[in-house]
Structure 1
Amino acid sequence: LGAVLSGAAASRDESRAVRCANAVCTADGVLAGLTELLRGAAKGDREGALPAAAAVALLTRVPAVAARVVSTEGTVAALVDALRAGDGDGDDLYDRSGGDRHDRSGGDDAESHALLAHAASAVGNIAAHPASAGLIAPAPGLVPGLARLLAGARPEVREMAAGAARNLALTAAGRKALRQTDGFVGKILVSLGSTSAGERHAAVGCLVNLSDDPSSLGSLAEAPGLL
């Protein structure tokens, strides 16, 4: 599955990539199987969840596929589970002491960080498509999961989380979910000072999208450090 999708993406032939993605997601049992593998993240099975998250992130670049993913029972909840991979690891994954982010992980946690990045990427892809964005935004635990990633030590994970937030903020449902999550705007503000250009740009995009909605202006005005 990965070879087919990666080959399609690497060919730079967009129509071929779309055909492959549609063929894969409509094959009997594929999305259900990926969902089951993603659920393994909550049980510590990162070895199975990682390739599943990578496949979903690649598939959801296609709008029609993203819509199928969110309409498949349990897939969004499984993605939220993947965003929480490593919750029981404490400071092994990140440390925010003193407001700074210091990576304390070793090579053994590379799988965890890759899983988190792919899961956040999938959320961002789904949120980028109008047909699927409104369905994923209200998912329980989704935005808190992204907030947790924004507090992490790995810039590649934070960049994907900030990008997902930026795309969620494109829709009214997404903006509402972001506003209603305590401290989320503050974490986006912290990302403005990141050493990662991608994270900074995504954070700016998120704030711009939020500010386009009058309903969000109060939350932005109350956020300490905005100006």
Structure 2
Amino acid sequence: LAIIGALAVACFVKVFGVTFLGEPRKPLPSLPTEAPLTMILPMAVILGCCGVIGIMPLTVVDLLGGGIAAWGGAAGPAAFPATLAPVGWISVGALLFLGLTAILALLQRRAVIAPKRPATWGCGYPQPTSRMQYTAASFAEMLTGLFHWGLWTDIEKGEVRGFFPERSHGADHTPDVILDRMIYPGCHALAWVAFKTRSFLQHGVLGIYLLYSALTTIVLLYILL
């Protein structure tokens, strides 16, 4: 669960950074507008439920206890022991965190110093462009490098030679291990075998087709009788 949580955080940081940070790579066809209330309200309801469960997990302990009791045969809320998850301390920690966050936000709003608004990926450059900013691959590079032994990333490195190198190109692509490395090659192999089998069996000669029918009939009679 800890690894899944860390990967989820990295995923959402990547999505937020790629979507909302940096400069646009090309002019937008039209100015973006906010989604209508019919789309925002369902997300707000889900967000509220997640917040209530995260801050006050005691509200769902009885429901979880009933489900565990039905599954394991135990009786009552005792099926959800306190040792399984310290739900009380989770609520205390969440409330302390929210209180500390509110205090820091209030202190920041009362600060007199006006915040500076430099370019997102400025890094000290006076005129940064979209080519200098992080991409989706840049955000995921740390994780793909950590799990390179299982992801099998295809890396194309451009060569830079001399003091005045010519234009070079580099790229990397991380395919889906299950889909691209296993399922697709397996399907291609089966398709090749099926094509070769069809080419071997089908010659367009009527006599051979009659022989196939006779052999099939003999095999079926042998199995049934």
Larger radius of gyration: 2
Fold similarity call, TM over 0.5:
no
- Smaller-chain TM-score bracket: under 0.3
More helix by share: 1
